[in-house]
Structure 1
Amino acid sequence: MPKRKQTLRSRLTTLVIVAIFGAVAIATASSVLREMNQFGAGKRAELYASASIFATAISETVYTQDKMATLNALRAISYIPSIEYVRVNLSDEVTFVELGSATTIHNDGLKLFEENTALGMLTSRSATATVPIIRGGETIAYLTLHANTNSLSERIGQLLYDAFVAAAFAGGIGILIALKMQRTITQPILSLSKVMSRVRESGDFSMRAKQVEDEEISQLVDTFNTMLDHIQERDSKLLTHQRTLEKTVDVRTQEMRKAKESAEAANMAKSDFLATMSHEIRTPMNGMLAMADLLSKAKLAPRHKRYAEVIAKSGQSLLAIINDILDFSKIEAGRLDLETIAVRPADILDDVVSLFWERAASSNIDLAAYVAANTPEVVEGDPVRISQVLSNLVNNALKFTEEGHVVVSVSLKAGHDEAASGEGVLEFSVSDTGVGIAKEKQSAIFEAFAQADQTTTRRYGGTGLGLAICRKLVEAMQGDIGLTSKPGKGSRFFFSMKTKLLSPPPFIRKAEGEKRAVVAIDGDATPKMLALYLRESGVIPHIVEKGADFGAHIACADMIFASPAFYHVYQQTISEGKAQWIPARICVCELGDTAPDELVENGVVEDILLAPLSRKEVMAQIGRIFDDTLRGKAALVNTESAGAGHLVFKGQHVLAADDSAVNREVVQEALSRLNLQVTLAGNGKEALALAQQQEFDLVLMDCSMPEMDGFEATMALRAFEKHKGRMRTPVIALTAHVAGKEDDWRGAGMDDYLTKPFTLDSLSAVIANYLERGADKEEVTAPINMAESTHNADAAAAIAVQSELAFDRTVLDQIAAMQTSGVNLPVRALRLFEEHSRDGLRTLGAYLKTGDKEQIARAAHALKSMSVNVGARALGEACAAVEHAAREGASSKELVALCKTTANIYREALRDLPAAINLYQKIAA
């Protein structure tokens, strides 16, 4: 504070003194300049007059060249005190005479007033004047005078001294003035600053600054005091609020605690409700789906098998939807768990279309699926979530489409077909011919509870959550979702997801030569999708519109894909019966349609293709046409499920406890199919009593049962075993819970768990972890016995040499056993191997050159996979060695050696390939 006060005063004093000294300095400088100008003018006039007088006086003596007379005349100059030197120069600049003490005189000019300036006289303390000496009007010489100007310096010095004295006097007066100003101006300001400092340090806003007489300073003080009034009033209000704040916080805390407890209780009730609802829904579904699974594995006609498969798939879809509803809270909380497993995009599309087929057909909407040719066969992803998004989009499309079609498609986006990184972007889409969505409504369509129009809910139903869930699921899969639409023209919803490509697109068999097909199917989408598949196979399709004349097209067709109605009409048009049916004739019918049966029995059609069409079935049908192996009546006879083979056991004794009679029947049937003895219990109490009476090899324990649940029964059983010293019995939990019950089985002492509904395969797989297996039971068509199926010498000879081939007969026989139609599957597999293995070996060689060991391992693995699948065991083992060495970081030299060995074995396989193909062609014949 003292330093600030001193600074303020010194600044004011300095300002006054500087102002006074400035004025004195200006006045002094003006006087000095004026004096210098006056002196300079007088001195120049004096020198000029003196020089002119002496020039006239000596003009005669200079003219006569009399130096002594000239010197005598000039000596009079010595009587002038200021003149120190005189000189006469002839016109040729030769010195005639000189007199005085100066040693140097500048002769740069003859103009007096330009030679001697006031500043020059002051700095050099001398002045010089040169005038001409004229005789008879002619200049004969020049006279130069040099005088000192010390008197000018003395006068200037006197002026400066006088100015200094005046400045000192004025400075004293200025100090007095500054002191007076301090009392009237600075003192009140310093006093105000002192009050402000005290307020800042103490926080006491009750202090006030004193009033002063000066009007301006008084306004400053008043403003400061007013500000303190406002601050004091604010602090008073804050203090009042602070006194009541703690009480308010306590009240709010109590309210929040109660709300929290209420929310927790509601959440607990919701969890209990979800767990109970899950159990109650999934328990009957267990019976339904398990029975459907068992039914699908039985010997059924193709149509009946399709019924069972649709039931099973529909039930699984329903179960997935239930799980999704229960997981919605996880989605919103950002805790959604996604699977990353092998997925077949084509299968997902087929499942979704099959699920909605009946609904679409009942509304006269043509529902079709299209799998683009570049779609990988297997990718990584979450099949449940992808199916859920597609199902939601298809459901919406059917809801908002009154006529026309809905098409579900999948393809690999452009630029990713040959992704060297093994990754690509799949795009799924659902297109319809429905009402469409206005452009201004499209931006909000994916928001929760959003509808394109306020009347949508009343007209079509729904909550508006479906697309919001789709968006969240797609974003969780790190994808994008969007749409394009025009009102009245339909919509196209699409979403993409980045994924790893685990298997390339399936091989497309091409027609040999030009082939034509007639497509006569109802609908405006399914015929187009079928036509696309035909074009991919090199067949030229022609779609016949309903009611159009088709005779001309039939005459040049190689194959016909038509509905039963088409064949009935065409049958009436032929004149000589079935002998004129040259094209391959395929009847395309819906699930449950019995009309094709008579057509097949009568030979009008040669095979059946069920709608909805799948790419796999269509391509298989085209392959049968190319191979001339259409099934005919075999399409109607009983066939086995391709996956009916399952694990079997050695007749061990299993206790199964479940409170549901349906579930007990399902479990008994399933365990019997696995060659296990079964004892049933209706609740945990019965199960515990049975387990205490006799020892079982394994216990299947339902978790939720009356009287005693599975957890309590298991804990009691563990205590009993410990007390009696009995060997621990494996206990597998059968649970329908999905909310809050996942890990309870561990704490109860159970060994494993199986979620309902289970399948026969999943049940046998989990039991196999605890019971010894017996010989596998095969319920598929018996493998081809080549010794019995051939009756000619050529085939027998072929069998004799088969053991020397590079392809394992056992593997090829297993492939033959899997075929369910007239397609020669071993030959087909061998030809595919021949086509794709070359590219696989080239890819391996290319990566070997780059030295990328990760890519070398991937290429070797791909070639290994296709080799072992056709029985080329030696080649598969060689590829496995390359893969292992690359992943272990082997040197380039080692990898090159292994790849050379692989190439040699591959050449041996190619050498034996024609013989293997010929062998299985003859066996099929």
Structure 2
Amino acid sequence: MIDNLPSDASAEEIRRLRRRLDRERAARLEAEAIAEAGTLRLFEHQWRVELTQAIATAANSMEDPLEAFRFAVERICAYSSFTMGHVWTVEEASSPASMTSSGIWFTALPPDTAFAQQTATLRIGHGEGLPGRVLAAGRALWTEDMTQEPDCPRAEGARLAGIRAGFAFPALIGEEPVAVLEFFQNRISAPDEALLEMLDRIAAVLGRVVERHLASLRLKRNNELAAQRDAAEQASQAKSAFLATTSHEVRTPLNAVLGLAQALRREPLTTRQHELIDGILESGEMLLRLLNSVLEMSKIEAGEATLMLADFDLTNMLRSIVSIWTPRASELCVDLELEMIGLAPGLVRSDRGRIEQTLVNLVSNAVKFTPPGSAIIIRAIPTDDGARLEVLDGGPGVPEADRERIFRPFEQTQDGRSAGGAGLGLSICAGNVRLLGGEIGCDKDELGRSRFWFTCALSPSQGDADGSIETVETISVRHGLRILAAEDNLANRRVLQVLLGPSGVDITFAGDGGEAIEFLRAGRFDCILMDANMPVMDGVEAVRQIRAEDLAGGAPIHMLTANVFDDDVTRYLAAGADGILTKPIQLIELFRVLASVPVLAWAAA
């Protein structure tokens, strides 16, 4: 019996294996927690992006500042838990600056309450209550309880009206407030810093409406057509800058979510865990495609948009949309069904992002309007040159007189205004469908159900003749490949580590462009991945210097960045980059680049 006991060496091996399993288990749990937290932050950030985009798009089309303020107040109340909104406007030529009520309200309170009457008669100066403090500070501020706020001339009226927490933010021209928008609710609430940060961005957007209005008045008085063209150019540049900032802010956290989820997917997981990871990846990739499509809207308006053609399985895309939207529909006691009539699985070629965004917008509208106990049907029918996609719901439908205008920007029916939204979703759909070579419309089916539909052209797949699909596993990356990655964001570094670690590559990280240059002076690398936005020295300047001093030694340089607008790509290539990889990282594109890296002379020796 004693002879059968494990030796000390065997026992130590068992302990070592247990420690290893414990470490791997802890690593998986950490990755899952990071992915889940990132997904939550992503969707919280997404609704703020949607709100900001809606206000910015509306503001860019409105000439009257009061109209833009009213739109912003209604949208912010609709998106938040604050049920009362009001706008103060700064009096012209007042010194020191003071404000009076604009008369714009969004509230359930009757207009003859003491609080509303007092607001209508007040003149607010610097530091007087919440709006006065915002006037002085020029930024968004929060009060947890208005009734306890010092120097608040409306504290008693707020107490009687049941008003407690509030926040306010300015509309800014440069650093000068021209209006203050305030919002209140009936309970004490701690500050929401992310909301305040978003409002500070909207401040400049609304300020540009006032600035454009004042410029327009001056131009009309002076009949200066040249100045009018300059104002339009400035508005266009501001819009481009806003879209670039939005793109970068969404892509950076999305890179971590998708990257870590892809890495976790390659771990040994249970079937249920694989399903959850697949759900994260499907939702994140859909969000990325929707982001790309929204950012293309300015090109659609200018007639400069192009299709991004790729092979995909339309049936899988439809099932994915149904899977993602089913939980939301179930919350509202609505069934979501998919009917594919004669549509066979297999790869087709078109712009998946635009088809997906159009269908998602129609499903989103259907969910809003369908009463509990009814059903929404997504129906796909093949046509001679593509497919017809329909969304049938139990809502009231669109009156025949309104069916054409609802596809124009900011046009809504009365039911649409009641349900909220900016009136942009269907106009985006119409722009997408025009590019796809199809038609869009709404009517009622033979059973009287509301039906939105569109057609799109589909081309045969250009995949391999044997039907095989390239995957990360089929791409061979040279073991020991030396990569220099210039990346200042720790989360993005972690993504590269977990994605490339199993491939046996050797990654060296630099915190900025200058540090990357020092690494190149000291050693050799097979490939250089360069972020664009970094402190000290950015990626573009670093690439210029690397090319000027011939430090790469033949190693290709690829920008790995969330800034992927056409102007950005042009700058990267002009500086000397060999290619561009986008964030969130497309794993198969990254592996293709690494697999194509040549064996340099120093490595062969």
Task: State the 1:438 CA deviation.
Answer: 2.6
Distance 1:279 1:750 in 2: 20
Aligned to 2:378: 408
For the 8 Å contact 2:350–2:457, the answer to whether it is kept is no
| Counterpart check, 1:280 vs 2:249 | yes
For the 8 Å contact 1:289–1:757, the answer to whether it is kept is yes
Aligned to 1:35: none
Task: State the 1:442 CA deviation.
Answer: 2.4
| Greater relative contact order (Cα < 8 A, sep 6+) | 2
Task: State the 1:653 CA deviation.
Answer: 1.3
- Unaligned runs of 5+ residues in structure 1 are 1-249, 417-423, 504-641, 774-925
Task: State the 1:679 CA deviation.
Answer: 0.9
- Given candidates 647, 655, 658, the residue that maps to 2:487 is 658
- Given candidates 348, 352, 356, the residue that maps to 2:325 is 356
Aligned to 1:562: none
Aligned to 1:255: 224
Aligned to 2:361: 392
Distance 1:490 1:696 in 2: 63
- Given candidates 497, 502, 523, the residue that maps to 1:668 is 497
Identity of paired residues, percent? 35
Task: State the 1:734 CA deviation.
Answer: 0.5
Q: 1:262 to 1:440 in 2, by over 3 A?
A: closer
Aligned to 1:369: 338
| Counterpart check, 1:649 vs 2:475 | no
Between 1:292-301 and 1:367-376, the stretch displaced more is 367-376
Distance 1:275 1:445 in 2: 28
- Given candidates 692, 701, 708, the residue that maps to 2:530 is 701
Aligned AA (1:387): E
Aligned AA (1:499): L
Q: 1:691 to 1:501 in 2, by over 3 A?
A: closer
SS in 1 for 2:406: coil
For the 8 Å contact 2:487–2:511, the answer to whether it is kept is yes
| Counterpart check, 1:494 vs 2:320 | no
| Counterpart check, 1:438 vs 2:404 | no
Task: State the 1:713 CA deviation.
Answer: 0.9
Distance 1:502 1:322 in 2: 25
For the 8 Å contact 1:653–1:696, the answer to whether it is kept is yes
Deviations 1:804-835 (A, max 9, x none): xxxxxxxxxxxxxxxxxxxxxxxxxxxxxxxx
- Given candidates 456, 468, 478, the residue that maps to 2:416 is 456
Distance 1:425 1:653 in 2: 46
Mapping for residues 767-786 of structure 1, pairs under 5 Å: 767-771=594-598
Q: 1:375 to 1:486 in 2, by over 3 A?
A: closer
Mapping for residues 417-436 of structure 1, pairs under 5 Å: 424-436=385-397
Task: State the 1:441 CA deviation.
Answer: 2.7
Q: 1:376 to 1:312 in 2, by over 3 A?
A: closer
- Which structure has the larger Rg? 1
For the 8 Å contact 1:436–1:490, the answer to whether it is kept is yes
Aligned to 2:83: none
Task: State the 1:387 CA deviation.
Answer: 0.6
Aligned to 2:545: 716
For the 8 Å contact 2:558–2:579, the answer to whether it is kept is yes
| Counterpart check, 1:467 vs 2:426 | yes
Distance 2:598 2:326 in 1: 42
Aligned to 2:557: 731
- Unaligned runs of 5+ residues in structure 2 are 1-218, 463-470, 601-605
Distance 1:254 1:647 in 2: 66
Task: State the 1:703 CA deviation.
Answer: 0.9
Task: State the 1:662 CA deviation.
Answer: 0.3
Aligned to 1:303: 272
- Given candidates 325, 343, 362, the residue that maps to 2:294 is 325
| Counterpart check, 1:746 vs 2:565 | no
Distance 1:461 1:341 in 2: 34
Deviations 1:275-298 (A, max 9, x none): 233222211111111111222232
Distance 1:761 1:380 in 2: 19
What TM-score results when the alignment is normalised by the length of structure 1?
A: 0.38
Q: 1:488 to 1:426 in 2, by over 3 A?
A: closer
SS in 2 for 1:695: coil
Task: State the 1:271 CA deviation.
Answer: 1.9
Task: State the 1:399 CA deviation.
Answer: 1.1
For the 8 Å contact 1:282–1:736, the answer to whether it is kept is yes
- Given candidates 341, 348, 353, the residue that maps to 1:379 is 348
For the 8 Å contact 2:290–2:353, the answer to whether it is kept is no
| Counterpart check, 1:763 vs 2:593 | no
Deviations 1:8-34 (A, max 9, x none): xxxxxxxxxxxxxxxxxxxxxxxxxxx
**Number of equivalent positions:** 374
Cα-Cα RMSD: 2.8
Q: 1:264 to 1:445 in 2, by over 3 A?
A: closer
Task: State the 1:747 CA deviation.
Answer: 1.0
Task: State the 1:374 CA deviation.
Answer: 4.2
For the 8 Å contact 1:371–1:411, the answer to whether it is kept is yes
Distance 1:765 1:448 in 2: 41
Aligned AA (1:448): P
For the 8 Å contact 1:481–1:494, the answer to whether it is kept is yes
Q: 1:487 to 1:682 in 2, by over 3 A?
A: farther
Distance 1:296 1:383 in 2: 23
For the 8 Å contact 1:340–1:382, the answer to whether it is kept is yes
Aligned to 1:290: 259
Aligned to 2:48: none
